[in-house]
């Protein structure tokens, strides 16, 4: 070491403040280094690493099976899949955790804008999130138990903007959905499209109990009008002294029509068949809703029978 270099080294050493951490001398672990990497670089490394593992021949894998599994076509499909997975892996590498109730929580409830009917949810990672909340539900929204597992957002989807991680959407309390305006024209992943399709099918096929949903189905004009419709259209069999109750069930579809009409109990003489006929003619109901979406709802009722003969 030259005298000049040694003098500079001693000068710099003497200028260091005891107890202060300097960036040049600070140890950065692998996770911190990874967090500094732009997404494009992270994705390339992630895909290369995963492809390297994927295309290795297993110790208990036949050569013929390996050749079927690993070829140019399957490799391209795997790369496409990994490119989609890379976004979520990138979020994990940045330790993004969206929640309200833990030490140093990343989310907190902000102010309500009554004019726009939006609640601000403050996010340490993504700034202020504007969540639509109707004004008549705002007080209830604020009063919810934010220190619970249910308060953490669901259907969280990330996307990339300017090589950085951004939040595309998140749903709070299974109903209030944040959507990033910048994500409006983004290309959805195959997994996301498949998930939305499965969710849609599940909602379309599931039959809900009317007592356990947010908005029960309703006959137009109210239940009294429904019974008026039954009374007006039901033709009582001409049987002397016939009286009693018949019980029926049906499903109110998302378009309000009645399907799967069944007689649970009748009193004979065609009373059950007549109930099915009349209910098949019933005007559409206002469908039930849960989580802001129309749902199929199971319903049951009784019809009083009293012959005039």
Instruction: Quote the CA–CA distance of 55 and 61 in Å, as a whole number.
Output: 12
pLDDT reading at 99 higher than 90: yes
pLDDT reading at 14 higher than 50: no
Which residue from 309, 290, 172 is spatially nearest to 237, judged by alpha carbons?
309
pLDDT reading at 26 higher than 70: no
Tell me the pLDDT band of 6, cut-offs 50, 70 and 90.
very low
Buried b / exposed e across 222-256, counting CB within 10 Å, b at 16+? Answer: eeeebeebbeeebebeeeeebeeebebebbbbbeb
Tell me the pLDDT band of 25, cut-offs 50, 70 and 90.
very low
pTM listed for this prediction = 0.64
Q: How many residues does the chain have?
A: 309
What domains does the chain contain, in order, with CATH numbers? Answer: 28-93 (no CATH), 107-205 (no CATH), 210-306 (3.30.2420)
Where do we find the tokens 């019974």? 227
Convert the pLDDT of each residue in 63-80 to its tens digit. 999 999 999 999 999 999
Strands 207-209 and 293-306: parallel
Q: DSSP readout, 126-160? A: TEEEEEE--GGGHHHHHHS--SSGGGS-EEEEEEE
Question: Using an 8 Å Cβ cutoff, are 209 and 249 in contact?
Answer: no
Average pLDDT, the chain: 87
pLDDT reading at 35 higher than 70: no
Helix (H, G, I), strand (E, B) or coil at 63: helix
Which residue from 280, 263, 264, 275 is spatially nearest to 237, judged by alpha carbons?
275
Task: State residue 10's pLDDT score.
Answer: 41
pLDDT reading at 218 higher than 70: yes
């Amino acid at each position: 070491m030259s005298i000049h270099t040694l003098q500079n080294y001693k000068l710099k050493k003497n200028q260091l403040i005891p107890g202060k951490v300097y960036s040049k001398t600070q140890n950065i672990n692998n996770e911190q280094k990874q967090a500094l990497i732009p997404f494009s670089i992270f994705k390339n490394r992630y895909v290369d690493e995963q492809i390297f593992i994927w295309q290795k021949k297993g110790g208990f894998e036949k050569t013929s099976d390996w050749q079927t599994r690993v070829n140019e076509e399957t490799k391209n499909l795997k790369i496409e899949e990994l490119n989609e997975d890379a976004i979520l892996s990138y979020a994990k590498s940045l330790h993004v955790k969206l929640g309200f109730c833990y030490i140093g929580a990343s989310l907190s409830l902000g102010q309500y804008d009554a004019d726009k009917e939006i609640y601000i949810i403050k996010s340490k990672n993504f700034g202020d999130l504007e969540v639509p909340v109707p004004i008549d539900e705002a007080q209830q929204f604020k009063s919810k138990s934010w220190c619970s597992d249910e308060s953490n957002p669901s259907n969280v989807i990330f996307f990339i903007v300017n090589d950085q991680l951004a939040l595309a959407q998140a749903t709070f309390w299974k109903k209030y959905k944040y959507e990033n305006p910048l994500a409006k024209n983004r290309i959805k992943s195959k997994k996301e499209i498949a998930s939305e399709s499965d969710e849609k099918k599940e909602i379309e096929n599931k039959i809900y109990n009317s007592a356990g949903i947010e908005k029960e189905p309703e006959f137009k004009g109210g239940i009294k009008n429904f019974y008026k419709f039954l009374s007006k259209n039901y033709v009582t069999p001409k049987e002397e002294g016939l009286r009693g109750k018949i019980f029926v069930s049906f499903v109110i579809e998302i378009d309000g029509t009645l399907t799967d009409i069944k007689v649970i109990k009748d009193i004979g003489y065609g009373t059950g068949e007549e109930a099915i006929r009349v209910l098949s003619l019933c005007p559409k109901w206002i469908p039930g809703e849960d989580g802001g979406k129309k749902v199929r709802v199971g319903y049951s009722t009784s019809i009083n029978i009293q012959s005039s003969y």
